[in-house]
Amino acid sequence: MLAEMALAALLAVTAENLFFAGGAGLSRALRSAREPGSIGVSSCFVAFFALCAAFAGLLLEPLLAPLPQARLLRPAALLLAAGTAYLLSAALLRRLAPGFFRRRGRLLGPAAANTAVLAVPYAARFSAFGAAGAAGFALGTGAAFWLASSVLFHALRACRNPDSPAPFAGLPAALIYIGILSMAFAGFSGGKVFF
């Protein structure tokens, strides 16, 4: 079980990296990269909500699958589940660690929104793998988010140097940077993103 979890986590960081191979969640990673102090906390939140989303997907799938409009209802149900998870975790944090929530609570919502609908591919991917695989993949996604944010933090610095052309300095160069890095990940998958 542990091996299954580790393998799924490794896949999430490398060949099936959602951020660079797939391009999902990069908006959030870019924002996180602009605040290097919050990368760790954001990554933990992403891992937590990815875990919630994966388990929500696994739990809801048997209920949704028989319905005629399952593919329409699935994302909506998962968004509601993510909203509930957000409310519960935010309420808990406000009660147990009010100081922490005041400082870092604003990162909780985007993390929940970003990872909510990832449960759709998770559920499709890990229905065979089971809970351990889903958990491993969620944790791997947290690690991948940390990696992506850290890489982008340094990339943003490289993209704003004294020689860079004014129209490219900052975000445009960062997007090209992401594109080139995405090419490296595409070398693993040959361009086939798993979802």
Partner 1 sequence: MFAHGVRLEEDKRAALKNGIAVLPAPEDLPEPRSFRAPGGGAEPAAILAAARTAGIDDEFDGAPLAARLARLAEEQADLLAACCFDDDPFVCGAQAVLREDAAKVADGLLLAALACGAGETVVAAASRSELRALRGLPKGVAAAAAGNRYPARVLLMRRLCRGGKRGAWIGAQACAALSDAVRRGVRQAETVVTASGGGVLRPANFRVRFGTPVGAVLRAAGLREGVRAVAVGSSLTGRTVTDLSLPVTAATRCVLAFPRLPAARAFPCVRCGRCARACPQGILPWLVLRELESGAPEPLRLFHAESCVGCAACDAVCPSGIALVAAVRRAAALKEAGVPDETA
Partner 2 sequence: MERPENRPLLHDLRVVSRSAAFYRNPVLAGALALYPVAAAGVGMRNAAALSVLFVLTALPVQAALCLTGMLFPAWARPAAVLAACAVFWVPAALAAERLVPGSLDALGTAACLTACSSALYVRAAGYAPEHILPAALADAVGYSLGFAGVLFLVSAARQLWLEGGPWGGPAGGGAGLPFAGFLLLGFLAALLRAIRLRRARRAEKEG
Partner 3 sequence: MRLHSAPAPFVRTETTAVSMSRAAAAALASLLVLPTARYGPRPLSMAGAAVLTCLLCEALVSLARGRRPVVSGFSSAAAGLASALLLPVNAPLWLPCAAGAFAVLAAQEPFGGPGRAPFQPAAAGAAFAALCWPALTFAYFDPSQPYALPALGACSFQAARSPAALLKDGLKPDLLPLDMLWGDFPGPTGGTAALVLGACALALFLCRAAKPETTVCFLLAAAAVAALFPRIACAPLTSVKYELLSGSLLFCAVFLVPGPAALPYTFAGRCLYGAFAGAAAMAFRRFGAFEQGAPFAVLLADAVSPMIDSALFRLRGWEARPYGTP
Q: List residues near partner 2 by CB under 8 A.
A: 21-28, 30-31, 69, 71-77, 79-80, 82-84, 86-87, 90, 94, 101, 105, 108-110, 112-114, 116-118, 120-121, 165-168, 171-180, 182-183, 186, 191, 193, 195
Specify the residue, 2 or 180, whose C-beta has the smaller distance to partner 2.
Answer: 180
Task: State the binding partner of 75 from partner 1, partner 3, partner 2, none, CB within 5 to 8 A by kind.
Answer: partner 2
| Binding footprint of partner 3, residue count (CB under 8 A) | 33
To the nearest whole angstrom, how small is the minimum distance from the Cβ of residue 153 to partner 3? 9
| Binding footprint of partner 1, residue count (CB under 8 A) | 5
Query: Does 71 participate in binding partner 3 (rule CB under 8 A)?
Result: no
Q: List binders of partner 3 among 158-177 (CB under 8 A).
A: 158-159, 161-165, 168, 172-173, 176-177
Alpha helices, DSSP H, located in the chain: 2-13, 26-34, 39-64, 70-96, 98-104, 108-116, 119-126, 131-158, 171-189
List the x/- string, 155-194, binding to partner 1 by CB under 8 A. Answer: --x--xxxx-------------------------------
* Nearest partner of 59 among 134, 2, 112, judged by Cα: 134
Q: Are 177 and 153 in contact (CB under 8 A)?
A: no
Tokens of 20: 């660079």
Task: State the binding partner of 103 from partner 2, partner 1, partner 3, none, CB within 5 to 8 A by kind.
Answer: none
Q: Are 163 and 173 in contact (CB under 8 A)?
A: no
191: left (phi over 0), alpha (psi -120 to 50) or beta: left
User: Taken in order 79, 140, 21, 32, is the CA torsion positive or negative?
Assistant: positive
Cβ within 8 Å of residue 28, ≥6 positions away: 42, 46, 110, 111, 114, 145
Which positions lie near partner 1, rule CB under 8 A? 157, 160-163
